[in-house]
Structure 1
Amino acid sequence: MDHAYPEIPVEKLKLYHSMDRKLYSILVFALKRDPKVSVNMIALWIWLELDVLDAVVPNILLSPLNSINGLADEAVACLRCITDTTYLSSSDASEISLSQSVLGEQLSLKFFHENRALAYRGVRMVVENICVKVLDDLMEMAMPRNTERQMVMIPPVDEPMMPRFGGLRRTGESSRSVVPPMDPMISRFGGLRLTGESSRSVVPPVDPMIQKFGGLKLTGESSQSPVPPLHMEEPKENRILFATFSRGYPVFEWELRSYFYRVFGHCVESITMQPVKANEQSLFALIVLTSSAFVDLILRGEEKAKFSVRGKQVWMRKYSPKA
């Protein structure tokens, strides 16, 4: 008989992500921004908090409403920079001075352009593994309001950059969306696409740059899980990741646990850090996951993958015991 590992209740996940939910509510209800685009903004800020900076979402929440709106505009510019290789040199590009002031001086459009592959994968991962679980009810409430707004605002006046990302569009712009949904749970929010990807229409119409990252489902849509069932019978050696760290940039067990929990939920069974003497740094760790499915999900089919945990570089690959 198969025994599946219990999943964390959705309500507990939503409680853990209460600040992310609060910020999303401000975007879509107080600032009346597009619900789908706002998901990508939240995913971008969570990714920055996981991989690059500390306390991104809390710092944004401490800002006044007009500053949050300005940060949202700059987040759209960052997302465009990630998905469009020509955006940085276009006349539309401008520096993100508010983000630099509130979040970190190292942020710039050049930073997102140079790290667009890592950022693209990271933001998409956050949408699929976090937003899909913790923002679905808020988006469902926001969508009717947004639909009414589309009917009375042609063209939109308060979000001039939104037509590139989805939601409202100007007269004459294409309403085709791109890339058939990866999974029934992914299609609702939409996401970003890279230049040159094919397009296929979906319902409701979304702008061509919105579909790639993935999204949420609403009531009545398929709840098929993108992750295969987790079975306890799997051999342990099939579900171990080998993680290595850079000398001089110590990574601690609690940082790894926090990273995996926030991005993938309950997927870690145990973490064994390299044994070291006091005041010495562990340079590797063995991470036992609850299922081999998470190994494939985390590595995205690659032999090894690079992550940034609280700004520190971590390489991960499937563990292969020496003969």
Structure 2
Amino acid sequence: MKTSDFYYDLPEELIAQDPLEDRSSSRLMVLDRESGNISHHIFKDIIDYLNPEDCLVINDTKVIPARLYGVKEDTGAHIEILLLKRRENDVWETLVRPGKKAKPGTRLTFGDGRLKAEVIDVVEEGNRLIHFEYEGIFEEILDQLGEMPLPPYITHKLQDKNRYQTVYAKHEGSAAAPTAGLHFTPELLAAIEAKGIRIARVTLHVGLGTFRPVKVEDVTQHHMHSEYYQVTQEAADIINDTKKRGGRVIAVGTTSTRTLESVADEDGTMHAAGGWTEIFIYPGYKFKCIDALITNFHLPESTLLMLVSALAGKEHIMHAYETAVQERYRFFSFGDAMMIV
């Protein structure tokens, strides 16, 4: 299986640069994975495709304002840091630009010295381990000094940083939003619950590895970066009960999918668990837990496009994407949605 098998041609003007004013007014394509049939809707119509006894699994991770702009203490040269993964004792794995100026021992300062740091090591792919020094609460300082780490294909500045959060974001730790969840409003979630659909909350802190291009031609040789997940006993119970009652487990996003498939037993049974996952789902994978998926439209040749192809079949997905381009759907993080049933 080749990476190039997952290429499609996308006009640049279809990459959504700004979120819609009303989250739930984006478009929704519904794809039947058995027949390949496609229908077109507005996202708030998703309630019509959810049945009482179904369970919606959402990822309640919260994006941290992980992009910091600072200077080198000795020269005053500008430097940009992206926080990727929290380690212990105020050490973070980071992406630094320009990396050549960030050798171990380099001292950095941000926000007129409110936050200071030292590069302590170089790790895989040139990422830097950085130790931060500050007074007070790190998250509060980050909230004041940091910017939302929007993906590189979004060139517009975000006016309201809450628009790159789901309305149910709770546990801080992501370098990117679980974007399928951006379409939900509190009102839509309330209507879904009122219809008898249960909502299970899991957490997966999204790393930038999610967006990293697949650089090998043989898909099976690609290695996913590890991401931290947490499944509570409550979430596991809701999912197991849904299965017992004959309801469907519907994942909101590829991150929820990867969490569930990392934890589920072979028969689909869930249990409370936490840890790191490197699961890579591509065609040929046998799903253990999820029955349907709500997701956005993903980048060509990406691991996310491979995941949805594993669920719906590559031919159905590539045809659906061709249709989405023809119908002028909006793509990627702030774009429109697809439901695979």
State the TM bucket, normalised to the shorter chain. Answer: under 0.3
Higher relative contact order (CA 8 A, sep 6+): 2
TM-score (norm 1): 0.28
Structure 1 or 2: larger helix share? 1
Structure 1 or 2: larger strand share? 2
TM-score (norm 2): 0.27
